[in-house]
């Protein structure tokens, strides 16, 4: 968890002082050598349309491929009492329960265990109160090319991190055990995942849903700094992407399998 500490500090700093968020992010990008962000794409018709329109789509949490999104451990009675006492002042615990009941946050007649379970379910359901656009800080993940770029037949879009700082792209924290439910606010839970996902080097741009019915929304993106073709890129898609790169003056590379190791190399295409 030690190597994740800077991420926790960055997320806390950005939301503590949003006026200095862009300045803080640019500094952290430089200190941690985060120069580019990437989005892996299958290469379907909608992907090409979005590429020309400079948009990507952010989705609500329940549409993600990880069922543990917005996951946290269920609190103990002790941490439950501590959380609500701090949140609502130093009133007696019974008075706190009355306040929550009046606000329709909980059912007063529940047992403590049932109460915690009810609040946990309510908290987890709030993952759909936000839209998340997921990016990566690496372009050479063999697994991500397989999972998100149609088994290496698709492509990957590169963006300059300095331009994305304006969108407040923040890193995902990878952990062994979920944090205590009542130690985390909603924003923090949006940036936490199980350690098995660490290979993705994920960063997220978050936007509040604000009652909108749409399960996904377009996010305006800067012009790509490069396009990477998969090592098994479809010939028709390759022609479409080469045309795009020529028209938009964007650099283009093609992935090649390294014959000596389990790595992808990228060869620049002369347009």
Concatenated DSSP letters of 9-34: HHHHHHHH-GGGHHHHHHHHHHHTT-
> Which of the two residues, 169 and 119, has the higher pLDDT score?
169
pLDDT above 90 coverage of the chain, percent: 46
What is the predicted pLDDT for the residue at 175? 87
pLDDT above 70 coverage of the chain, percent: 75
Segment 106-135 shows an average pLDDT of 69
Express each pLDDT in 183-212 by its tens digit.
Answer: 555 567 788 899 999 999 999 998 888 888
Express each pLDDT in 214-268 by its tens digit.
Answer: 999 999 999 999 999 999 999 999 999 999 999 999 999 999 999 999 999 999 9
Q: How many helices (H) and strands (E) does the chain have?
A: 10, 12
Distance CA 137, CA 227 (A): 14
Express each pLDDT in 29-57 by its tens digit.
Answer: 887 788 899 999 999 999 999 999 999 99
Distance CA 49, CA 52 (A): 5
pLDDT of 269 strictly over 70: yes
What is the predicted pLDDT for the residue at 79? 65
Nearest C-alpha neighbor of 46 from the set 261, 216, 260? 216
DSSP E strands, the chain: 36-41, 55-60, 130-136, 155-160, 169-171, 173-175, 192-194, 202-208, 216-220, 226-229, 251-257, 264-268
Segment 149-175 shows an average pLDDT of 91
pLDDT of 25 strictly over 60: yes
pTM exceeds cut of 0.85: no
What is the overall mean pLDDT for the chain?
84
pLDDT of 156 strictly over 60: yes
């Amino acid at each position: 968890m030690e190597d994740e500490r800077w991420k926790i500090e960055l997320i806390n700093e950005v939301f503590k002082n949003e006026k200095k968020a862009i300045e803080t992010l640019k500094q952290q990008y430089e200190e941690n050598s985060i120069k580019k962000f990437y989005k892996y794409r299958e290469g379907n018709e909608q992907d090409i349309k979005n590429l020309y329109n400079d948009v990507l789509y952010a989705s609500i949490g329940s549409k993600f491929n990880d069922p543990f999104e917005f996951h946290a451990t269920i609190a103990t009675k002790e941490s439950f009492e501590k959380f609500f006492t701090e949140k609502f002042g130093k009133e007696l615990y019974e008075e706190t329960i009355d306040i929550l009941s009046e606000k329709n946050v909980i059912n007063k007649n529940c047992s403590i265990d049932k109460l915690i379970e009810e609040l946990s379910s309510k908290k987890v359901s709030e993952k759909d109160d936000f839209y998340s656009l997921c990016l990566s800080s690496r372009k050479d993940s063999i697994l991500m090319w397989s999972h998100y770029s149609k088994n290496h037949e698709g492509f990957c879009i590169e963006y300059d991190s300095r331009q994305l700082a304006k969108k407040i792209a923040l890193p995902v924290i990878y952990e062994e055990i979920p944090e205590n439910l009542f130690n985390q606010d909603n924003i923090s839970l949006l940036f936490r995942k199980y350690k098995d996902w660490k290979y993705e080097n994920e960063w997220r741009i978050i936007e509040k849903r604000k009652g909108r019915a749409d399960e996904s929304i377009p996010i305006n993106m800067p012009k790509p700094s490069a396009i990477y073709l998969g090592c098994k890129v479809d010939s028709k898609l390759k022609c479409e992407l080469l045309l795009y790169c020529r028209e938009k003056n964007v650099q283009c590379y093609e992935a090649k399998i390294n014959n000596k190791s389990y790595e992808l190399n990228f060869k620049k295409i002369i347009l």
